[in-house]
Each structure stands twice: as C-alpha cells, then as structure tokens.
A and B are shown apart, each in its own frame.
Chain A
Amino acid sequence: MGKPRIAIFDFACCEGCQLQIVNLEEEILDLIGAVDVVEWREALSEQSDTYDVAIIEGSITRPEDEERLKAIRAKAKVLVALGACATTGGVNKLKNNFDLDEVKACVYGPDAGKPHLATARTKAVGEVVLVDACVHGCPIDRQEFTTIVRCLLLGKTPEIPAYPVCVECKARGNPCLWEYGQICLGPIIRAGCGARCPSNGFRCFGCRGYADNPNVEAAQDVIARYGQDVESLKKKMSLFGSQQEPTLS
C-alpha cells in the first residue's frame, strides 16, 4: 500500500490553524515522511485532485464555497474539520447576529451591492458536508492535531474530551477566575486545551465549542454566586458560540 494522500484546504479564516501545523517544526518533517501531502497552497506549489484525507480549515460563507467543499468531500475518503472556524463556525458566526445586507453596508459602504462581495450566513463545515473528525480550538493544539492524524492513519477513532475546561483547570491547580471577577466559560466549554487561557490568567472564551451535554444549570448557579447577570455570560458565549446551543434564559 502506498502512503496516504493528504490535502489541506482553506476557506474563510485566518489560516492560523495551518500555521500550527507549520509550528510542529522538526516534527512536520516526520509527518510529511509518513504521508504524501499532495496539496497545501500555503506551503507548497503543487496541486492535486485525489486524496485519502482532506483537512478543511475555515468557515463556509459563500455559495461557491459550498460547492467547492462538496467537490472536495466527493474526492476524499476521510474529511477532517480543522479549528474552530471549521468545527463550529468560530468568530465568523458573529456575522450571523446581524442582517447580512447591513453587515456589507457597514464594511463596504456604497460598494456593498457588488456581486463579488456576496456573502451568506456563516456555516461550519459540518453544516455543509459529513465530517469524520474534528480538531477543535482557535487555534488548534498542535499535539492534539498529530494525535488525531495518527489515529486516523491507524484506522482508530480519536478520543476527544467530552468534559469541560474546569476539569483540566482544577487539575492544574489554578485559582478560579470567577473569584477575580472574570466571566470565564470554563464550566461549559469542551476541554482538551489543557486550560491554557485560564492558566495564563485569561478567561476561557469558548474556542473549542461546548462540552457534550453542557451543565447549563451549574453555569447559572455560578453566575448567581458571583453576582453576575445572564446577559454578560451570553455575550461572552457569543464570541465563539453565536447562534449555537445551549441557549440560556
């Protein structure tokens, strides 16, 4: 059997998740040795049309991008969503909180009506095609990325934590940021990042998306205990979780 053929594609995003692959430094040479990277526009000049694994970075924001993504899906045996823009829609979904014509007028003024500026509601990759595996985070964690790729190459299902960031944060012995007046989303957001932001004294803002079955009641208890209001929490949840479950009341 030949080496698996991997292709990396980017849609609407900052390309920071691709950068994390580059940031594997020496390790990337090993990875490239184990697979054939047949297309990767940001790093290689080569382009190809067949692949075993397609890695998709970015959100889908235009009808033509939906078509491009469906064509990629048709040619890929396994499809991986890379990073928050792809797995949940990420910050790009903030746009969906506004009227789209108004958003265009805000940025492009009188030229907003031009056809190439067409934009649609932001979608995560999974809202357009079937996704076989997700690499969460904004940006992705590069070690988690290599683990997931290894699992896929071995035909195993990668294990992604279903529990919230608070679990990892407590394990690291961090003081709770709610005690310092910060509105931290740790109680409801999927772990796997090692509680990186709270460990640096910065509130979790939810880049990995919600944990499986997030405990909304517990989050509401925390808000009440620290004298915060639900609206402030919802605003923080909107950064990476706009128009996604769970909704609070």
Chain B
Amino acid sequence: MSSAMKIHVHHVTRVEGHGNIVVNASNGKVEKVEWQVPEAPRFFEAMVRGHSYQDIQTIVSRICGICSITHSLAATKAVENALGIEVSEQADAVRILMHYSEQLQSHVLHIGYLAAPDFFGVPSVVPLAAKAGEAVKTVIRLHRLANEWSDLIAGRTTHPVTLTPGGLTRIPTEQQFRDLQQRLKDCVKDLNAVVEVVLSVAGVIPRFERPTEYVSLRQDNPATYTFYHGQIASTDCDGTVPINDWKTVANEYVCDQSTSKWCKWHRDAYAVGALARFNNNADLLSPMAKEVAKRFGLKKGCTNPFMNTVAQLVEVGHVVETSIRMIDGLLTKGLKQEKVKAKPKRAGKASGCVEAPRGILFHEYEFDKKGRCLSADICIPTGQNHANIQKDFEALVPQILHEGQDAVRHKLEMLVRSYDPCISCSTHALEVTFV
C-alpha cells in the first residue's frame, strides 16, 4: 500500500448534522486523527431568556427534529422541578408512552435508513430498496407506526404540542389506546423480521473493543429499564448521582489538542446512548428484548461501540413490549379527564433529565417568581459522545491502517454513525478546529 494516507471527509453523510473526519498518516504511522464539528451554532440557551415557563418546551423542541419529544420532555420536567408544578400519575404514564414512540421512531430511522446501508454495502436506503425490498418495506411500516403513535399522543409527529407544564392538553381516547395497543401487538412480527435481516449481515459489524465508561439513567424504585425517571449511573462507579448535580458528571472542558469542548467523568471520555443504557440496566429489559440481545450475543459489559446499533434494536423490542403492558395498566385504572394546573409556586432553578434515543440529556433553567426564564443550560448526548468518538478513532485507526485508505474511511464513518449522532443538537456546546 502507499505510504501516505490523507482522509478528509467533509460533512459525513447519513447523520443528523454536520461532522468532519480527518486522518493523516505516513509510513504506517498516524500523524493526526480528528473528529470535527462545523455545524452552525444556534444559541438556544441565550434565546430562551425572558420567555414564559409555558413557552420553553415550544422553543427548545426545535433544537432537534429527530428527538424533539425528548427535548420537550426534559425541558418540561426541568420547568416543573424549578417551579414546584406537579404532574398526575396518569399524565406521567402517557408522557412515557409519548417518549417511547420517539425511541421507536428514532431507532428505526437509524437502524433502517442510516446504518443499514453500511451493513449491505450500498450508499443509501434508495439502492437498498432495490436490493432488499421486503426488508425496507418492513422498516417503513415500523417507522410509520412510530410516527402515527407520536401523532396520536404528542399531537404532531415532530415538535409535540400536547405537552405542557403540569400535564398534557389532551390524551387519546380509550378506543384510540386500544387500537394503538393492537397495532403494537401486530408489529412484533415485523420486529422479528428486522432482527432476522440484521442478524444475516451482522458479520460486517467490526470487532473492536475499547474499555469505556458508560453513563445513563438508572431507576431503582421500582427497578425499571428507564428512559425517563431515575438518577445518573455509570459503569465505573456504584450508586447514582442526583439529576440536579449533572454538572459533576459532564465536567465540560476545553481540550488543548483540538480546543473542542468535551465531557469526561471517571476517565478521559465517556459514552452515552443505547449501549450505555444496556450496560447499566440490561437485567431489567423485557423478555423479548432479552431474547434479541441473546441472539446477537450482546452481553452486559460490551465495549464495542459498533454494537450500539444492535443495542438500539434490543431497545426497540423493549419499548414495544413495555408499551403494550403500560396501555393495559392505563385502561385498567380508567382514563380520567384531567385539568392542568400549572401556576408557578415559587422562583427557582432546577434540572430535568431524560434519555434521548442517542443518550442521556440534561436541561437546566432558572425562573423568577412570575415564571420568566432567567438562564438556561443544556447538555446534549452527542456533545457527551464527541470525546469518546475521538478516543475510539485514536484506538481504532492504528489497528486498521494496513487495510488501506478506503477501508479506514469507511470504518470511521461507520463508527460515527453507530453513535447515531445528532450534531445540530450538540453544537451549542462545541468548538471546532479546522485543519
């Protein structure tokens, strides 16, 4: 092979947002490996100041189109925590169902449309439709189900409108919940079909391990594979950290090597996302999800970042199975028409946290006693993963350098995609170095 390698992937395709990959090597020696983010900053923390607590989620939902429900939920929880606004048990359960619809939507989008072309060695989902038509149609059906589920509970597929501090403006009828439940039961055969297809190409998932710290929510009481409640947990320590103390976890810092703002906790980087949730909470998965993990040989303690996509597939099984059960719970108790009471009880500052499909997300706001926003701080999963992507690059490139430029480029792009990055989200907290 040639002695010099120069890779500069400008704006990696099939990811949300803009990211660059730079690799320089000569005579088998790596000189430079960098993961860069040139996305236009949008300044949400500055823009929400002065606005009413009722409008915060409407604004910050627009941080991300793919995880808009997640951002709205994190913001709404933070608003409620700060102002002492309470939420009923029923509204809490319906919100979790709303959140699950987005986990399904985002995971199916990532597995089926963004990652699958890598598994099949094609440039996009369009030629994939010709190559594996039935599989693509199955993925589209699941994606449609997830979106119609979001529509039903959130009022819109993207950027929810039923969510409001104190509860929800509207919940589905009993019949609508029953219909949704039936569709979820019916989709299990589609899920199994997707599992079979991914299994058939799982051999192309690179074998690469790097000891990594994994950070996610954990909920002990009742013990739940959580996306919504709980406290912050890590594979590097026992116990949990309260949500309001998230800054002691994220430790955002400026890195001398690249001047990018990164996160670290017990090591030089940590990872968040489906694999992090799996590594912290796998024993709490639903039976169907456990079965999927078993078929892929995915076990707690996995440190192969490429397996994040498989962990998402496992979670798809979990959210579907859990939602079927939760709808039973809601209907058994009987749906109640609830009036939302959401007057601020105090001035205050607090955080809200949920798991975005791509990892743990923190929102923090401060309000005066009229409920006007004074300050905001948002820490996004992809921002937390950037340092870990860089560390993976540094470990992976020397191992695969002999495979040649195209293979190195392809595997690094695949690695970035496996994190399912949401770069638009993360840029409020990032800085960039241009070569």
Are the CB atoms of A197 and B158 closer together than 8 Å?
A: no
Nearest CB of chain B from residue A33's CB, rounded to whole Å: 10
Q: Which of A188-215 contact B (CB under 8 A)?
A: 196-197, 199-202, 205
Nearest CB of chain B from residue A144's CB, rounded to whole Å: 14
Are the CB atoms of B126 and A32 closer together than 8 Å?
A: yes
- Interface residues as binary, B153-188 with A (CB distance below 8 Å gives 1, 0 otherwise): 001111101101000011000000000000000000
B400 within 8 Å of A (CB atoms)? no
Are the CB atoms of A119 and B41 closer together than 8 Å?
A: yes
A61 within 8 Å of B (CB atoms)? yes
CB-CB nearest in chain A for B157: A23
Are the CB atoms of B46 and A107 closer together than 8 Å?
A: yes
Residues of B within 8 A of A26 (CB): 137, 140, 144
Of the candidates A12, A45, A95, A111, the one having the most CB atoms from chain B within 10 angstroms of its own CB is A45
Are the CB atoms of A17 and B65 closer together than 8 Å?
A: yes
B101 within 8 Å of A (CB atoms)? no
Residues of B within 8 A of A197 (CB): 155-156, 161
A226 within 8 Å of B (CB atoms)? no
A19 within 8 Å of B (CB atoms)? yes
Are the CB atoms of A139 and B158 closer together than 8 Å?
A: yes
B90 within 8 Å of A (CB atoms)? no
Nearest CB of chain A from residue B71's CB, rounded to whole Å: 9
CB-CB nearest in chain A for B122: A45
- Between A and B, 26 residue pairs with Cβ closer than 8 Å are A12-B42, A15-B65, A16-B158, A17-B65, A23-B143, A25-B140, A25-B144, A32-B126, A43-B14, A43-B114, A43-B125, A45-B117, A45-B123, A45-B124, A61-B40, A61-B41, A90-B62, A98-B46, A111-B259, A111-B261, A138-B62, A197-B156, A197-B161, A200-B156, A235-B52, A239-B59
Bound together, the chains give a CA A58 to CA B427 distance in angstroms of: 15
B202 within 8 Å of A (CB atoms)? no
B226 within 8 Å of A (CB atoms)? no
Residues of A within 8 A of B164 (CB): 202
Residues of A within 8 A of B261 (CB): 111
> What is the interface of chain B mostly: helix, strand, loop, or mixed?
loop
Bound together, the chains give a CA A106 to CA B378 distance in angstroms of: 12
Are the CB atoms of A19 and B62 closer together than 8 Å?
A: no
Nearest CB of chain B from residue A100's CB, rounded to whole Å: 9
Residues of A within 8 A of B162 (CB): 200-202
Are the CB atoms of A16 and B46 closer together than 8 Å?
A: no
CB-CB nearest in chain A for B144: A25
B interface with A by C-beta (< 8 Å): 11, 13-18, 38, 40-43, 45-52, 55, 58-59, 62-66, 68, 109, 113-114, 117, 123-126, 129, 137, 140, 143-144, 147, 155-159, 161-162, 164, 169-170, 254, 259, 261, 424, 428-429, 431-434
Nearest CB of chain A from residue B19's CB, rounded to whole Å: 11
Are the CB atoms of A196 and B159 closer together than 8 Å?
A: no
A236 within 8 Å of B (CB atoms)? yes
Q: Told that A15-B17, A103-B47, A205-B55 touch, could you supply 6 new A-B pairs with CB distance under 8 A?
A: A15-B64, A19-B65, A58-B40, A111-B431, A116-B434, A202-B164
Are the CB atoms of B161 and A196 closer together than 8 Å?
A: yes
Nearest CB of chain A from residue B68's CB, rounded to whole Å: 6
Are the CB atoms of A16 and B41 closer together than 8 Å?
A: no
Are the CB atoms of B13 and A44 closer together than 8 Å?
A: yes
Bound together, the chains give a CA A197 to CA B45 distance in angstroms of: 25
Are the CB atoms of A239 and B55 closer together than 8 Å?
A: yes
A87 within 8 Å of B (CB atoms)? no
Nearest CB of chain A from residue B414's CB, rounded to whole Å: 12
Are the CB atoms of A44 and B126 closer together than 8 Å?
A: yes
Known contacts A114-B431, A116-B432; A201 and B14 CB within 8 A of each other: no
CB-CB nearest in chain A for B154: A200
Bound together, the chains give a CA A106 to CA B16 distance in angstroms of: 25
Residues of B within 8 A of A67 (CB): none
Are the CB atoms of B58 and A239 closer together than 8 Å?
A: yes
A77 within 8 Å of B (CB atoms)? no
Bound together, the chains give a CA A103 to CA B169 distance in angstroms of: 33
Bound together, the chains give a CA A106 to CA B17 distance in angstroms of: 23
- Interface residues as binary, A11-41 with B (CB distance below 8 Å gives 1, 0 otherwise): 1111111111011011001001000010001
Are the CB atoms of B424 and A46 closer together than 8 Å?
A: no
The 4 lowest CB-CB distance pairs between A and B, nearest first, are A16-B65, A201-B169, A200-B155, A45-B123
Are the CB atoms of A196 and B117 closer together than 8 Å?
A: no
Known contacts A139-B158, A236-B55; A106 and B14 CB within 8 A of each other: no
